[in-house]
Structure 1
Amino acid sequence: MYKEFLDFTLNMVKGVAEIQLSYFRGNNLGIQTKSNIFDVVTRADKESEEYIAHAIFERYPDHKLLGEEGGFRGNEHSDYLWVVDPLDGTTNFSQGLPLFCISVALQYKGETIVGVVYAPYINELFTAVKGEGAYMNYGSGISQRIHVSQKQSLNPSVIATGFPYDKDINPDNNSGNLAKIIPHVRDIRRQGTAAYDICCVAAGMLDGYWELSLNLWDVCAANLILQEAGGVIDYFRENRGVSEIAGNETIVNEIKKYIK
């Protein structure tokens, strides 16, 4: 039913990937800061979002768009909302680190129906359509269905997290949570991109994930992919943006014992 939207999105992210790879590890990034010194944006972020916006409104002129760089635009009364993080992992990108991704989701009447997350440098593509499962393409051209880890305790688990941009001025910055949970897990990863972290949980490469003070564009596509892979999302805070735990149901409940 939603194949048209998925095919359109897949073609679109290929074009965005070309933009990002043309800038990556180059000297023309045009790095600027946004909310503070820790919150950076590059020419690639801005050009990627404009490419996406142009493609969407050329194909679907009555839709609306929420993007990290440009906010809301388009038909505010539309039932269709595209939620876009054009370059998730900008700090990695700006440092020349290869973990960054394009995150595109489509919502219909508030429900996410299509999610695509593509990490262009490592050529990993994650996709989901509502009710049809989640898939990962490892660069072979063949999509494989993915499922969350089946681990039932934290001790053998590897989980991921991240930290909010206001970590220097707000003591509610996740460092306390990290200290509490470290003794109870096999290890922690901090990969620098929420969308990719959640997709790794969807594919069973990570066993769980939590973070606070995210935005809808960080997680919208990846959350659908995770849920279609059999995972669950728990929103554990209401006063710090989008704050969520992801994993199988047991691991989510175990993580909740140590974070707040």
Structure 2
Amino acid sequence: MIEIAKEAASVAGAFLKERFLEQLVPDEELHNDVKLPEDKGSEQRIIEVLHRHFPTHTIFSEEVGMVSREEEYLWIIDPLDGTNNYFIGYPYFSISIALQHKGELVLGVVYNPVAGQMFWAEKGKGAYLNGKRLNVNNRQDLTRAVGTYIRGRNTVTKEEEMAFTEPFVFQTKRLMRNIAPALDWCLLANGWLDYIVMQRSNIMDVAAGIVIAQEAGATITDWSGKPYQHEPFQQDHTPSLVASNGHLHETIRGMIRQ
């Protein structure tokens, strides 16, 4: 199944890469978001590959919603994570594909076609980037820590975001806002990031990245410190999480203003 997920990501990625840097015409441009025909084009290619190999599996994808079939297997797809980045020619976007089996996340694939980065993980089998095993880093100095902030669409106001992120901006080396959350989790998995603070983000956007980060040794909890436990997929589920290399976890969690 992991190989088929990588195949689907590769096919969609080739399409997105071919269209990248074109003068894209959106289907709809909203205040905080944009809808592109490339979202649908990527999605169609992913679903075609998955249905060809697994015709009885259920699929949830951002554009078509739930395609219900056999409930034991559920593919969770974001066909273009980082649509706004893609739209403005910023090469930080990905295809994100996760598989839930009997309510449990069992694999994740995140692919950035421009950078040629194929991240993947299966539960209990480790996480990888282009075949290289991934591990979180060992950084312990908060002042040298680099993190990212993830928030859900239309769940946090800009004023709330500014107030919430202030401690991280001033007390760590750098807090980034990349607007492509699946990739952020992969950067943590490879030791490029030290922490992630996520505020009410849709699980669809991060499911694959969470599997990859977990398999790379990341510590993931909710804001109260309870270890992360995947809940069977619900479209409107927007958890708030903290993830880190482990060494900085309690310090980062303690900086959260709820």
TM-score normalised according to structure 1 size: 0.88
Q: What is the aligned counterpart of 1:192 among 161, 172, 179?
A: 179
Deviations 1:193-217 (A, max 9, x none): 1011110001000001112121121
Give the distance between the partners of 1:115 and 1:202, measured in 2 at CA.
12
Quick check: 2:152–2:238 contact (8 Å CA) kept in 1?
no
For 2:247, the equivalent position in structure 1 comes to 250
Quick check: 1:166–1:173 contact (8 Å CA) kept in 2?
no
Determine whether 1:26 maps to 2:22: yes
Deviation at 1:26, TM superposition (A): 0.8
For 2:116, the equivalent position in structure 1 comes to 123
Quick check: 1:23–1:29 contact (8 Å CA) kept in 2?
no
Q: What is the aligned counterpart of 1:150 among 131, 138, 148?
A: 138
Aligned with 1:191: secondary structure?
A: coil
Gaps of 5+ in 2: 225-235
For 2:72, the equivalent position in structure 1 comes to 79
Aligned with 1:161: secondary structure?
A: strand
For 1:111, the equivalent position in structure 2 comes to 104
Quick check: 1:212–1:240 contact (8 Å CA) kept in 2?
no
Determine whether 1:204 maps to 2:162: no
Structure 1 residues 95, 22: CA separation in 2 closer, same or farther (over 3 Å shift)?
same
Quick check: 2:153–2:201 contact (8 Å CA) kept in 1?
no
Deviations 1:107-157 (A, max 9, x none): 1011111111000111111110110111112xxxxx111111112242221
Deviations 1:2-39 (A, max 9, x none): xxx01111111111011111221112443413xx4212
Q: What is the aligned counterpart of 1:69 among 63, 67, 83?
A: 63
Give the distance between the partners of 2:159 and 2:200, measured in 1 at CA.
10
Structure 1 residues 224, 240: CA separation in 2 closer, same or farther (over 3 Å shift)?
closer
Deviation at 1:172, TM superposition (A): 7.0
Deviation at 1:174, TM superposition (A): 2.5
Quick check: 2:92–2:112 contact (8 Å CA) kept in 1?
yes
Determine whether 1:232 maps to 2:219: yes
Deviation at 1:165, TM superposition (A): 3.2
Q: What is the aligned counterpart of 1:98 among 72, 86, 91?
A: 91
Larger mean Cα displacement after TM superposition, 201-210 or 183-192: 183-192
Give the distance between the partners of 1:246 and 1:38, measured in 2 at CA.
25
Give the distance between the partners of 2:78 and 2:108, measured in 1 at CA.
12
For 2:229, the equivalent position in structure 1 comes to none
2:8 corresponds to which letter in structure 1?
M
For 1:140, the equivalent position in structure 2 comes to none
1:38 corresponds to which letter in structure 2?
N
Structure 1 vs Structure 2 CA RMSD: 2.0
Name the count of aligned residue pairs. 246
Quick check: 1:153–1:254 contact (8 Å CA) kept in 2?
no
Larger mean Cα displacement after TM superposition, 80-89 or 55-64: 55-64
Aligned with 2:143: secondary structure?
A: coil
Structure 1 residues 218, 164: CA separation in 2 closer, same or farther (over 3 Å shift)?
closer
TM-score normalised according to structure 2 size: 0.89
1:81 corresponds to which letter in structure 2?
L
Quick check: 1:92–1:99 contact (8 Å CA) kept in 2?
yes
Q: What is the aligned counterpart of 2:46 among 49, 52, 62?
A: 52
